[in-house]
């Protein structure tokens, strides 16, 4: 699984630091929604879903949290612990977010407005959709003129 990190350039002086995030520059998609998660207990697990097509960038602007991703074939874990780095997540990736530090503030920038029909909340349904997507991708990667093999 290829993970896409986005590194943000801070601007600051003795008064403090500032990071600006603009669509088309630091954020590779139109920003239609921004939300943040805070006051989360360390044992809480957020997410536990995938999206059909929504793209997101997750930034832990304060504290830290762990993001676990599953693309239907591989799994990985990422620690978010800096406001200078974001994690880009495309559709059809199951995500679970946990191990929140007591001071964690997780900001999420999303490519679309909230749409319940884009959510996949059942893990087995996600696995079936992900496997179908993997098969379509593999078929599309065949070389021209290549024959089907039994």
Question: Which residues are tagged catalytic?
Answer: 49
The answer to whether the beta carbons of residues 67 and 78 sit under 8 Å apart is yes
Q: Which helix (H) or strand (E) holds 123?
A: helix 123-140
| 81 vs 62: CA distance, rounded Å | 7
**Can you tell me whether residue 69 is helix, strand or coil?**
strand
What does each C-alpha distance from 76 to 16, 37, 123, 130 come to in angstroms?
Answer: 34, 22, 16, 16
């Amino acid at each position: 699984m290829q993970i896409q990190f986005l590194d943000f350039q801070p601007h600051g002086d003795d008064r403090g630091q500032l990071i600006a995030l603009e669509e088309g520059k630091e954020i590779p998609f139109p920003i239609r929604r921004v939300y943040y998660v805070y006051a989360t207990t360390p044992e809480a697990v957020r997410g536990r879903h995938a999206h059909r097509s929504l793209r997101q960038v997750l930034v832990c602007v304060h504290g830290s949290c762990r993001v676990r991703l599953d693309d239907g074939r591989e799994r990985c874990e990422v620690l978010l612990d800096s406001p200078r780095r974001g994690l880009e997540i495309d559709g059809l990736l199951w995500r679970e977010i946990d191990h929140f530090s007591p001071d964690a503030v997780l900001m999420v920038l999303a490519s679309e407005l909230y749409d319940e029909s884009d959510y996949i909340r059942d893990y087995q349904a996600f696995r079936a959709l992900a496997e179908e997507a993997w098969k379509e991708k593999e078929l599309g990667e065949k070389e021209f003129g290549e024959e089907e093999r039994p």
